[in-house]
A and B are shown apart, each in its own frame.
Chain A
Amino acid sequence: MKKNLNTQIGALKPVWNIFLLILPIFLGFLALCIGRISYPLEDILDVLGAKLTGSEPGTDKQIAMIIWNIRLPRILMAMLVGAGLSVAGCAFQSLFANPLATPDTLGVASGTSFGAALALLLGCHLFGTQVIAFTFGILAVALTWLSAAGKSNGLSSVVLAGIMIGSLFSALISLVKFTADTESQLPAITYWLMGSLSSAGFASLKIGAPCIILTILILYLLRWQLNILPLGEDEAKSLGSNIKLLRIITILCATAMTASSVAMCGQVGWVGLLIPHICRMAFGNNHRTLIPACISLGASFLMIVDTMARSISASEIPISVLTAIIGAPFFIILMRRTGGWKL
């Protein structure tokens, strides 16, 4: 039996590479145009060109303000958060060899949410909220790790500990809500927990973005090594891999990017489960393609959802509501058409 040498095992075909690269950029420009008021592409290009070169835009000052200070940071944030949550979800699914794993498996989202709720209760401003939220996210994962460490029970005990710590922080969130002032604080906390990118601005991006970009970059560079994650421990070791180090790097990166995401825009559910599975169905299980696909499609998906959230109705729709409403049917259709998938 003859077969031509497959020169790029697990790597994407160039056509797909170009598609995955162009898709988020194209959607980004589209999202800049669309909103409660739509602007033509010339205005967008004019404003972006002027701001980047430092000259005065030819369009109306207010339009320039909306495009540059409101829409652009929001779109960038949607891209980053979407990409970050997808990569984190994908990494955790491989790490725990469990298709149900999400970025929140180790309790990071619950911890971060508790931190944010606490900060809102204490009346902190944007910067304070983000920092406190991030800190509690990391703290939650550290607690999970410490509770499971010591015994060599393997990764399933880490997952169990994660569920416990997650529910502990969920209970603490309820406690914060219970003590919050029902007129002002409670609505703020509740709305924040549903997730929204409405607070996006360059100030908030400056705190969260570097962390997400750096951790995505690390996992992107490690993408071939990540293929070893789902294998058994002996098997991984026998391939000459430092599986412990690989697991720790993966957990640190996924945790940091999830905590940054949740700290910036609250709990955005579903993305971390939905996008990795869509990518697995479409591109297979090799992380060489999976990671770039998750970055591109995650960014695109959240950008689409957020654009809808801010332009469908007069008041904004919480983003978690939309990710589920749009994502679930799409996911089910794809699952039925491809006949499911395996991790």
Chain B
Amino acid sequence: MKLEIRDGCFGYPKQKQILYKINLCAESGDLIAILGPNGAGKTTLLRCMLGFLKWNSGETLLDQKNLKQIPAKTIWKQIAYVPQAKNFNSAFRAEEAVLLGRNAHLGMFSQPKQSDLQLVHDIMNRLNILYLADKSCCEMSGGELQMVLIARALITEPNILVLDEPESNLDFRNQLIILETMTELTRQGITCIFNTHYPDHALRRSNKALLLNKNGTAQFGNTSEIITPEQIQNAFQVKTIIHKIKNQDQTYYSILPLELADVPTGGKLSC
């Protein structure tokens, strides 16, 4: 399963261009991080990619086929979307919320079947959140809710998982749980694409990265080629150094922000 963006351009009507000629290519087993400063349009990029917003020009292709030409139910059996947890405010219990994910597999008037309920159980077990089953979503911590939303996405048995800032607002441990879950999924051949505020996470986990600049352009490629001090300074206007740490024969990379850099002048481009 291959998901591609070709020359995607987007701007809201009567406003400046937000995204300018974005290219991205995700293949089976890829873990792709999308990075960029606040307001650069990371969430907008995900929304355009998934067809919630229409590209002004350019297109999203799923296995070489334009997303617009594929019926919604077919798309959402292949792709699953995990929205930002802070926007979820329904008082469903965890297992009810997870069960909602089966919707793409059910008809308008049908009720979930025994096999669907078994799946809820299996997925929650796999993610080690079975203990949450009876808890109300509005009483959960951020980490718990995020795991429930991932479970809801995985229950559609997708090939591609798209996550909007899955590890924001979480503590150390919960961030690791989410990142570890994503890494594990990619090992099983599921493509993961996620928005993040942490270049560290991209360096550690992702094999490809997309770096959005303030002017709407973006670089896409292998993480090691994209996340460099020069490109980071260009996108975030922050001077950084990438640190190499050796621990028990393993090498880790960490990125350390040093100081603010000068902000270049010049506005967004237009298509």
Interface residues of A (CB under 8 A from B): 1-3, 5-10, 97, 221-225, 227-228, 230-235, 237-242, 284-286, 288, 341-343
Chain A contacts of B72 at CB under 8 A? 237, 240, 242
A-B residue pairs in contact (CB < 8 Å), sample of 6: A3-B130, A97-B89, A222-B109, A234-B81, A240-B76, A284-B92
Chain B 106-134 against A: per-residue CB contact (8 Å), 1 yes, 0 no? 10111110100110110000000011010
Tell whether A240 pairs with B104 under 8 Å between CB atoms, given A5-B118, A234-B81: yes
* A240 with B111: CB separation less than 8 A: no
* A6 with B95: CB separation less than 8 A: yes
Chain B 46-57 against A: per-residue CB contact (8 Å), 1 yes, 0 no? 010010100000
Q: Which residue of B lies closest to A224 (CB)?
A: B111
Q: Which residue of B lies closest to A280 (CB)?
A: B91
Chain B contacts of A235 at CB under 8 A? 81, 83, 87-88
Within 8 A of A (CB), among B128-156: 130-131, 133, 136, 138, 156
Kindly state the separation between the CA atoms of A71 and B130 in the bound complex, as whole angstroms.
52
- Taking a contact as CB atoms closer than 8 A, the residue among B52, B87, B92, B93 that contacts A237 in the complex is B52
**B65 within 8 Å of A (CB atoms):** no
* B130 with A227: CB separation less than 8 A: no
**B69 within 8 Å of A (CB atoms):** no
Kindly state the separation between the CA atoms of A176 and B138 in the bound complex, as whole angstroms.
47
Chain B contacts of A1 at CB under 8 A? 130-131
Number of B residues with CB within 8 Å of any CB on chain A: 44
Chain A contacts of B47 at CB under 8 A? 234
Tell whether A285 pairs with B111 under 8 Å between CB atoms, given A10-B99, A234-B52, A240-B72: no
Kindly state the separation between the CA atoms of A100 and B130 in the bound complex, as whole angstroms.
34
Tell whether A285 pairs with B92 under 8 Å between CB atoms, given A5-B121, A234-B81: yes
* B87 with A227: CB separation less than 8 A: no
Minimum CB–CB distance from A3 to chain B (whole Å) comes to 5
* A288 with B121: CB separation less than 8 A: no
Chain B contacts of A228 at CB under 8 A? 100, 103
- 18 other A-B residue contacts (CB within 8 Å) besides A228-B103, A239-B100, A343-B90: A3-B133, A9-B95, A9-B112, A221-B109, A222-B109, A223-B111, A227-B92, A232-B87, A234-B81, A235-B88, A238-B50, A238-B81, A239-B76, A240-B76, A240-B156, A284-B96, A286-B93, A343-B89
* A240 with B83: CB separation less than 8 A: no
Minimum CB–CB distance from B51 to chain A (whole Å) comes to 8
Chain B contacts of A221 at CB under 8 A? 109
Chain B contacts of A234 at CB under 8 A? 47, 50, 52, 81, 83
* B90 with A230: CB separation less than 8 A: yes
**B42 within 8 Å of A (CB atoms):** no
* B83 with A227: CB separation less than 8 A: no
Chain B contacts of A223 at CB under 8 A? 111
**B5 within 8 Å of A (CB atoms):** no
Kindly state the separation between the CA atoms of A221 and B47 in the bound complex, as whole angstroms.
32
Chain A contacts of B16 at CB under 8 A? none
Tell whether A343 pairs with B91 under 8 Å between CB atoms, given A1-B131, A7-B114: yes
Minimum CB–CB distance from B166 to chain A (whole Å) comes to 14
Chain A contacts of B112 at CB under 8 A? 9, 224
Kindly state the separation between the CA atoms of A10 and B112 in the bound complex, as whole angstroms.
10
- Taking a contact as CB atoms closer than 8 A, the residue among A10, A225, A239 that contacts B104 in the complex is A239
Tell whether A9 pairs with B73 under 8 Å between CB atoms, given A3-B133, A228-B103, A231-B90: no
- Taking a contact as CB atoms closer than 8 A, the residue among A7, A227, A285 that contacts B117 in the complex is A7
* B92 with A225: CB separation less than 8 A: no
| Most chain B beta-carbon neighbours within 10 Å: one of A7, A10, A239 | A239
Kindly state the separation between the CA atoms of A285 and B99 in the bound complex, as whole angstroms.
14
Minimum CB–CB distance from B30 to chain A (whole Å) comes to 20
Chain B contacts of A5 at CB under 8 A? 117-118, 121
Chain B contacts of A237 at CB under 8 A? 52, 72, 76
* B77 with A286: CB separation less than 8 A: no
**B80 within 8 Å of A (CB atoms):** yes
Kindly state the separation between the CA atoms of A235 and B79 in the bound complex, as whole angstroms.
13
Q: Which residue of A lies closest to B82 (CB)?
A: A238
